[in-house]
Chains A and B, each alone.
Chain A
Amino acid sequence: MSMIRFDNLCKRYESGYEALRGVSFEMDAGEMAFLTGHSGAGKSTLLKLLMLIERPTSGNLLINGKNINRLPHSKVPFYRRQVGVVFQNHQLLFDRSVFENVALPLQVAGYSHGDIGRRVRAALDTVGLLDREKHNPIALSGGEQQRIGIARAVVHKPKILLADEPTGNLDPQLSAEIMALFKRFQDVGVTVLVASHDINLINRMDMRIMRLNQGQMEQDGVSYGGY
């Protein structure tokens, strides 16, 4: 069964702007894909629909076989606990330590104190920043901050990992490292969807690429060394 299924999805904003026009695709559990296209093509809107920040105007959105179109507002937080999100600007909080930043999804979900410590350290270890747990994220480099953002996105073992331009501010070397990290989560069964317009990097990854153009799915397939 597919983990993510877009079924003829449309999103029209109140201004009348149509961000998505009949988008359909499926992603299996443990699959990784890139979402690409020009800015304004609908990448962000598609991710926002997956995070339930926006609701579709028409069509069906199924997660793990369940239609979440009409998920009540009160259930949204519990849905979001199954999803990890990495932002371009990483959205870390600079009024607390790296540890506390990564612990946030666990605190929110009500994990015990000991559990939180264990899981946060495991996540920090995975992104290779275990020795930074007591630092303030503001003192870290851009690449490290993004890795902390990734640790926070995966600390609660989400089924789905979304990333919105995760390498936007990074040099090619760091970007490749970040992408390799995403690949590792795919390896352990997480469904990973990365929105990016870094064509060079994407083409080198030999992964499924979905290209949006003016709100429509223009291309959906695996690239083999570029096209």
Chain B
Amino acid sequence: MAATNSKARDGAQRGARGQVLSRLDKWRSYRHHHQTTLKSSTLKILREPLQSLLTILVIAIALTLPAALYLSVENIRQLSGGVDASAQISVFVKKGARDSALKSLTGKLEGLSGVASVTYISAQDALDEFEALSGFGSALQYLDENPLPDSFLVQPLLIGDAARLVTEIRELKLVDDVQLDLEWLQRLDALLDMGRKLVLSLGAALGLGVILVVGNTIRLAIQSRRDEITVVKMVGGTDAYVRRPFLYSGLLFGLFGALVAAILLTGLGLWLAGPVDKLALMYQSQFSITGLGFRGVVALLLIGGSVGLVGAWLAVGQHLRNIQPR
């Protein structure tokens, strides 16, 4: 009894002297707690594989859907980018225009804003080309005169400018008719715009879904560790200390979900690449699918991680306050 008594006294004295922790000690233990928390959070996810897998898969699917849609939109835009180059306006000139008038028309066309280039095609050139390509060459011999007018090919800088250019060109003197055969391209452009907005709204909705899923998972984790939280708070654990393991869990769930999503998207890309290449070959196009890429994977991980963290943060903020020592 006397021996343990003196031991307790020794301990108290030693304690009184060693009570003050240096800043370095605190930083070391802070870092150490981060490391051990990260390790234990990872272990916890692995220890309940089925439950964790379900959560991770839900997150992965919620990330895959908008990301796949985004990739589709981007790919279609690239495809339509190739068509942009052929978005030309044909300008037909009234018959019998003099050379000087044609020259001033060329200048006027080139002076319009949003015009990339202007190419003059004389009536004779057009006829020669028609003879060569159509196979009606001999039939054309019977015509008294060239039925084709002089024309210009106007290349707009942007497809979006084409409609405005058509109306402006129509106003010009000597212009007989203007044709723009690319209204479908404009429709595609509008569709792509809609697609991008769909990606955003779908992404926002599913991102919210991920936050809720992570939040619910964390809420359950908090409930199952209620006793531990109570004791930790009682012995002087700060809110940050109590929060830390749950934030790590949320972050890890988000990151794992994003990783699975990246794998799914890469698989989807590989699966589609073959058929798309075949199709492109048939259309004599160089087009091939653009996948997620390194930057895409990094972006996906960033988004997944931060969404998981936010979900955990919200759940922790709401539920930890309710757990107070009794």
A interface list, Cβ under 8 A from B: 51, 53, 74, 77-81, 85, 91, 93, 95, 104-105, 107-113, 115, 119, 122-123, 125-126, 128, 152, 156-157, 184-185, 187-190
Cα(A91)–Cα(B229), bound, Å: 11
B236 and A91 within 8 A (CB): no
B19 at the interface (CB under 8 A from A): yes
Q: Identify whether the interface residues of A are mostly helix, strand, loop, or mixed.
A: helix
User: What's the count of A-B pairs with C-beta under 8 Å?
Assistant: 95
Cα(A157)–Cα(B8), bound, Å: 10
Per the 8 Å Cβ criterion, residues 96-149 of B in contact with A are none
B324 at the interface (CB under 8 A from A): yes
Pick from B4, B21, B32: contact of A109, CB under 8 Å: B21
A111 and B25 within 8 A (CB): yes
A187 and B234 within 8 A (CB): no
Residues on the A chain within 8 Å of B9, using CB: 187-188
Please choose the segment from B10-18, B60-68, B179-187 that sits at the chain A interface, where 4 or more of its residues have CB less than 8 A away: B10-18
B94 at the interface (CB under 8 A from A): no
A125 and B7 within 8 A (CB): yes
B231 and A93 within 8 A (CB): yes
In order of increasing CB-CB distance, the 7 nearest A-B pairs are A157-B15, A110-B29, A81-B236, A80-B236, A105-B235, A188-B12, A108-B237
For B, the interface residue count at a CB cutoff of 8 angstroms equals 37
B interface list, Cβ under 8 A from A: 4-5, 7-9, 11-16, 18-19, 21, 25-26, 28-30, 32-33, 227-228, 230-239, 241, 324-326
A126 and B7 within 8 A (CB): yes
Residues on the B chain within 8 Å of A91, using CB: 227, 230-231, 234
Chain A's closest residue to B26 (CB) is A110
B231 and A110 within 8 A (CB): no
A111 and B29 within 8 A (CB): yes
B241 and A187 within 8 A (CB): no
A188 and B8 within 8 A (CB): yes
Cα(A53)–Cα(B234), bound, Å: 9
Chain A's closest residue to B29 (CB) is A110
Q: How far is the CB of A76 from chain B (nearest CB, A)?
A: 8
